Amino acid sequence: MTPAKTSPAAVHPLHRPILAWYDMHNRDLPWREPGCPAWHILISEIMLQQTPVSRVLPIWKEWVERWPTPADMAKEPPGEVIRAWGRLGYPRRALRLHACAQAIVDQHGGEVPGDHAELLALPGIGSYTAAAVASFAFGQRHAVLDTNVRRVFARTVTGTEYPPPAVTAAETRLATELLPEEDARAARWAVAVMELGALICTARSPKCVDCPVSAQCAWRLAGSPPHSGPARKGQAWAGTDRQIRGALMAALRGSREPLSHPQLVIQVPDSALREPGQRSRCLSGLIEDGLVEPLPGDHYQLPA
């Protein structure tokens, strides 16, 4: 459902400069090209979650060539989709895309639905992805709140360096109030603000001198006060469950035959572990998540 339109007294002063900046500086990305299929846009949105464009772009191109429609992907076993995911990280996203493809074929005749509520009902599709696909693929008017957009609004409007850890009702209200009235302009606004956050209003070392709204930015006008909330923690890697799970998944992706337990766990040396039993816990977690299929004789493979 398209959000109810507000009736502001005038066009918001952020609209024109941000949209004009986007017209001049937006990146030439294939999922933004006119006529890009909704399925290809949906794939890009899932891949881009927590993963930079540079890593997504070559994998996205391979996927849309291999699986140009949901029906093409739905025919494949989920293990093949996980294998093709490669090292993008968070491989449950691959399972979600496979489940989406199946649901789109079974429930929507193989076409990605344009209705926001139907998008939200697809497996693994949350509020952000539903709004993004409805906006970017179908030109609808929705508040699209990713990390970049939230940071831009926090600084330019709220006057804080960073948004809260999780999306709040106040953020959603603000994003909705800031939407331009016309659907097409609102959809372009959504991607323009996202691009501004990705290229200029970055988390670290924002390029305020190049920002089209620096003169209006509440955070900058307040003297760029430092973040006063809970400390922002960086994502550790070495010795974490994420690293162990990734090593196990890499071994299974690299083999067309099931691996025995010794063949699998040897991929994670003791020196990589933080605690006893970490390997077993990670393997059990992968099985519970549906990313690894156990076989008789203590063998393992990607799900068939």
Q: Do 241-301 and 15-199 have the same topology in CATH?
A: no
Strand 299-301 and strand 259-260: the pairing is antiparallel
Sequence-ordered alpha helix ranges (H) in the chain: 15-25, 38-47, 53-66, 70-74, 78-85, 92-108, 116-120, 127-138, 147-153, 169-177, 183-199, 218-221, 241-253, 261-265, 278-288
Give the pLDDT of residue 167: 94
The CATH number for 15-199, chosen from 3.30.70.100, 3.40.50.1980, 1.10.10.10, 1.10.340.30, is 1.10.340.30
Cβ contact 140:189 at 8 Å? no
Q: What is the pLDDT of residue 8?
A: 46
Sheet with strand 259-260: strands edge to edge: 259-260, 299-301, 293-295
pLDDT at 2: 52
Enzyme catalytic residues: 45
The two tokens of residue 58 are 């070559």
Q: Where are the domains of the chain?
A: 15-199, 241-301
User: What pTM does this model have?
Assistant: 0.90
Structure tokens at 106: 């079974």
Predicted pLDDT of residue 92: 94
Assign domain 241-301 to its CATH architecture: Orthogonal Bundle (1.10)
pLDDT of residue 9: 32
Per-10-residue mean pLDDT, the chain, length 304: 47 95 97 97 96 96 98 97 94 96 98 97 95 97 96 97 94 96 96 98 96 97 86 68 91 95 87 84 95 96 96
